[in-house]
Amino acid sequence: MTQEEIKQKYHSLHLKYSDEKDTVSKKIRQYGLFRLLFFVAWIILIYLSTSWSWLAFGLIMGPGIIIFAYLVIKHGVHYRRKANLEQLVRINREQENGMEWNFIELDDGDCYRDETHLFSYDLDLFGKGSLFQYINRTSTITGKNRLAALLTYIEKSSKEIRSRQQAVAELAGLFRWRQDFRVRGLLTEEQPEDISGLREWIIKPPDFKATIFRVLIILVPLVNLTVFMLSVFGVISFWLFISYLVIPLMLAGIRHKRVNLKHNLLSRKFLVMKKYSGLFRMIEEQEFKSERMKSLRKGLVTNGISASRAIRQLAAISSAFDTRLNLLAGFLMNVLFLWDIRQSVRLENWQKKYRQQLPVWFDVMGETDAYISLAGYSYNNPGYVFPEIRNDDFLCFEAEQLGHPLIHSRKRVCNDYAVNGWGDFTILTGANMAGKSTFLRTVGVNMLLASCGATVCAQKMSITPVDLVTSIHTIDSLANNESYFYAELKRLKLIIDMLKEDEQVFIILDEILKGTNSRDKQSGSKALIKQLISLKASGIIATHDLSLGELEKHFPENVQNRCFEIIIEKDKLDYDYKLKKGIAKNMNATILMERMGITVD
């Protein structure tokens, strides 16, 4: 399918589910009205039948209960269907808009923004209009966290990356399954503390492992029943029975604070756990072909017990525990059944059984959900390719028609680019707004996508996985009393230190040493590049300083000059954004200043 056909598919689904939602909404109103009318008529008939006969009363009451229950169930079925359709409308609308690079309504992952990260801040991975916002279609917080982790770490194992590619390629073909997965995930909203609370609880030591607690939850209800029956038959007085209830009430208060802490970590999580149980079941029931997805699915079954079943059990315990939120019900249940202790014992039995498995299950969920986002990105961009992943010691980066995925396909200009081994540097020159910084990000973003196991914005690409460090828009820090220049020097020192530790690094720098005068900048830049070459680093350096192009003469095997030229005809500027060999010849600062009304003598 072409990209336009895929966009039309989302549009058609959007309209289809919108129409079906309107139809279901109409049925909900009809069932609601009919249920109300039936209930009123039923109550009237019940009232009248009491003056007729017991037989008439029974004939009206019995079938009436069945009919009314049926109407309630059907009403609920339509409500649930409407909720599903609302999410289907939402996700297909989002996808349709995303095909036009309109994804501003989606989660931008700004909470993951880190200005000190080796490359994520420079490559605009998080925030408004970011790569994360463009790709992210996760439906769980664990998936969102995992996707952010994939985008902030360069995986260097070629075997691992190929495994991810196979998983992403398989999921890309499971269109309906991906949509159903996301719908189920979005039906219940979760908060970050929901899963973190579970992870925190699962490693806590038990508070009710003593045998006495298991004896009490069986013995106390039996004694309560015995004393109650003695009261009923007059063996003891009613007031003595009431006085006796103080004893189970006192027993129920044992370790009350610890019970509260335990409950606070799990309280009101029934719907969230029910959601995860359903998502786990979808993974367990899907027949995957890729080894990575088979392995993930296998990790959800332990000793014949599936994650979906175990989480469903935990959800039931959590729901029962929430009874204590109702003061009256909580009081009665604790007096009669030692409810808090009973549920605490049930929780700790579950905790003991699945302590090791729970973190694994959520890791599986996070990875699957992240791959679903990458698969959607791949599906929506059929012109993109999975890069060839090299595993030799020779640094390889060869790309044909490389472009930036966040630039609309109708405006995107693609270029061929190659790096030929370690110690290979590209000096990139060009005028303002000619495309230098965009190209730096294009290379960096596609290197990262290749590491994630995703498709890249290119016709063909071959790459050796390698660590990436960038310095594109370094900022100063008033809080740390750091100037822009000092912040840049810190980043450069970090790069040098990594290289001296024999780490292999690909470096992307934009206009280095911007915070100093021209003479210092020129001499410092040349010295830096020479040192980087001597340390066998590779990368790209964009600069306005044309004199750096002279380094190609001194290091012909290590330095290649590339540029983005502009065409100047009288006072008209034309940008073609095509990467060319050599050093830029035309600059545009004077013309741009004059256009802004700034007089230039």
Q: Is residue 435 part of a domain?
A: yes
Lowest mean pLDDT among 154-163, 283-292, 305-314, 470-479: 470-479
Enter the tokens of residue 590: 């004077």
Select the highest-mean-pLDDT range: 60-74, 184-198, 454-468, 489-503: 454-468
Looking up residue 525, the CATH number of its domain turns out to be: 3.40.50.300
8 A C-beta contact, residue 528 and residue 514 = no
8 A C-beta contact, residue 77 and residue 31 = no
SS3 301: strand
Tokens 């100093």: give the residue: 516
pLDDT for the residue 596: 46
pLDDT at 229 over 50: yes
Lowest mean pLDDT among 15-24, 579-588, 592-601: 592-601
Other C-beta atoms closer than 10 Å to the C-beta of 478 total 7
Q: How far is CA 51 from CA 44, 60, 61, 205, 539, in A?
A: 12, 13, 14, 64, 94
Amino acid at 272: V
Domain boundary among 304, 333, 365: 365
Same domain, 263 and 394: no
Query: For residue range 319-350, what is the model confidence (pLDDT) as tens digits?
Result: 888 888 777 888 888 888 888 888 888 888 99
Tokens 């579950």: give the residue: 350
Q: Please compute, for residue 378, the number of CA atoms within 13 A of its CA located in the half-sphere on the CB side.
A: 28
pLDDT for the residue 268: 73
Same domain, 347 and 396: no
> Measured between alpha carbons, how far is 439 from 436 in angstroms, rounded to an integer?
5
Amino acid at 30: Q
pLDDT at 539 over 90: yes
pLDDT for the residue 176: 96
Tokens 């398989």: give the residue: 170
Same domain, 410 and 475: yes
Domain tally, the chain: 3
Kindly report the average pLDDT of the chain as a whole number: 87
pLDDT for the residue 469: 93
Q: Which of 189, 155, 169, 167 is nearest to 83 (CA)?
A: 189
Same domain, 323 and 427: no
pLDDT for the residue 430: 85
Instruction: Grade residue 514 by pLDDT with cuts at 50, 70 and 90.
Output: low
Return the H-helix or E-strand segment holding 3.
helix 3-49
8 A C-beta contact, residue 109 and residue 89 = no
Q: Is residue 445 part of a domain?
A: yes
SS3 579: strand
Give me the torsion for CA of 577, 579, 585, 587, rounded to 10°: 30
8 A C-beta contact, residue 166 and residue 291 = yes
**Mean pLDDT along residues 369-384:** 96
pLDDT for the residue 374: 97
Query: For residue range 108-144, what is the model confidence (pLDDT) as tens digits?
Result: 999 999 988 999 999 999 999 999 999 999 999 999 9
Same domain, 306 and 401: no
Domain boundary among 310, 333, 365: 365
Q: Is residue 525 part of a domain?
A: yes
Q: Is residue 149 part of a domain?
A: no
106 φ, ψ (degrees, to nearest 5): -80, 160
Instruction: Grade residue 589 by pLDDT with cuts at 50, 70 and 90.
Output: very low
Q: Is residue 119 part of a domain?
A: no
Lowest mean pLDDT among 292-306, 380-394, 542-556, 570-584: 570-584
Same domain, 540 and 451: yes
Q: Are strands 396-402 and 415-420 parallel, antiparallel or unpaired?
A: antiparallel
pLDDT at 422 over 60: yes
Amino acid at 417: Y
Q: Is residue 498 part of a domain?
A: yes
pLDDT at 93 over 60: yes
SS3 276: helix
Domain boundary among 84, 100, 116: 100
28 φ, ψ (degrees, to nearest 5): -60, -45
pLDDT at 570 over 80: no
Q: Is residue 268 part of a domain?
A: yes
Amino acid at 59: L
Same domain, 283 and 327: yes
Q: What percent of the chain has pLDDT over 90?
A: 44
Same domain, 348 and 473: no
Query: For residue range 306-320, what is the model confidence (pLDDT) as tens digits?
Result: 999 999 999 888 888
Tokens 């909720």: give the residue: 83
Q: How far is CA 505 from CA 422, 444, 467, 548, in A?
A: 9, 12, 5, 21
Amino acid at 304: G
SS3 556: coil
Give me the torsion for CA of 124, 127, 129, 133, rounded to 10°: 100
Other C-beta atoms closer than 10 Å to the C-beta of 285 total 11
Q: What percent of the chain has pLDDT over 70?
A: 93
> Measured between alpha carbons, how far is 213 from 252 in angstroms, rounded to an integer?
10
Same domain, 213 and 322: yes
Same domain, 431 and 474: yes
Q: Is residue 38 part of a domain?
A: yes
Which has more confidence, 545 or 181?
A: 181
Q: Is 453 exposed, middle or buried (0-12, 13-18, 19+ CB in 10 A)?
A: buried
Query: For residue range 272-298, what is the model confidence (pLDDT) as tens digits?
Result: 899 999 999 999 999 999 999 999 999
Amino acid at 115: E
Same domain, 577 and 430: yes
Question: Residues 221-236, buried b or exposed e (16+ Cβ, 10 A)?
Answer: eeebeebbeebeeeeb
Lowest mean pLDDT among 408-412, 463-467, 509-513: 509-513
Range of the domain at 47: 1-100
**Mean pLDDT along residues 478-490:** 61
Q: Is 464 exposed, middle or buried (0-12, 13-18, 19+ CB in 10 A)?
A: buried
pLDDT for the residue 357: 92
Q: How far is CA 217 from CA 251, 372, 402, 441, in A?
A: 10, 45, 68, 63
pLDDT at 574 over 70: yes
Cα 244–chain centre separation: 54
Same domain, 303 and 410: no
Q: Please compute, for residue 28, the number of CA atoms within 13 A of its CA located in the half-sphere on the CB side.
A: 14
pLDDT at 250 over 70: yes
Rounded to 10°, the helix 339-354/211-232 angle is 150
